[in-house]
Amino acid sequence: MVERCENCGEQMSVTIHVFQKYVHFFWIPFLPAGKTGISECANCKQTLTEKQMPASLLATYQNLKSAAKIPIWMFSGAALFVVLFIGLKINEQNKNRENAKLILAPKVGDVLEVKNKDKQYTLCKIVDLRGDSVLLISNKYQSSDPAGLSALKDSAYSEEISYIAKPELKKLFDKGDVIDIHRE
């Protein structure tokens, strides 16, 4: 009870409540999003929103509002998002480092995710190694999106064998045309 009520004239009968709003994402609080509040008179039960408050009340309300701390749990979603993002980045870096090693020493059975000239993605399987040459067969199917490649894993491969020299394969990897390598 901090203020005199201008409605009923009762002294020290008005309480101010400040509410912190937040944005949620699937019911997980994501980020705080501004404050709102009301005043309430214990005597006449009048409630006023921020816009309806008389100047005297508004000043007190503004003070309370700026003093109100934002609960840290309201950042839960954003914090989770940052942690996930960093985790994904580290994972990606590790995978790239691992792939850079694998591409230098290809093995029979390796499956490469490859981007071709038409910007289509497919899988190439290493079937043999002869000296400096890598012998590959391509999957018969293509995907316009690398995410679709996992669906191709069990589909048929062409019987046609193509050759590529190891240094050329490394070049394709460096160019980003070999986007991933799977080794059992």
Per CB under 5 A, residues contacting Zn ion are 5, 7-8, 41, 43-44
Rounded CA separation 173/19 (Å): 55
In contact, 100 and 116? CB cutoff 8 Å: no
Cβ proximity to Zn ion, 31 vs 38, nearer residue = 38
| Shortest spacing between CB 42 and Zn ion, in angstroms | 8
Cβ proximity to Zn ion, 54 vs 148, nearer residue = 54
Cβ proximity to Zn ion, 10 vs 180, nearer residue = 10
Cβ proximity to Zn ion, 5 vs 136, nearer residue = 5
| Shortest spacing between CB 47 and Zn ion, in angstroms | 10
| Shortest spacing between CB 36 and Zn ion, in angstroms | 21
Rounded CA separation 97/106 (Å): 15
**What tokens were used for 99?**
């792939």
| Shortest spacing between CB 2 and Zn ion, in angstroms | 13
- The rounded Cα 57 to chain-centroid distance in angstroms is 43
Maximum separation of any 2 CA atoms in the chain, in Å: 98
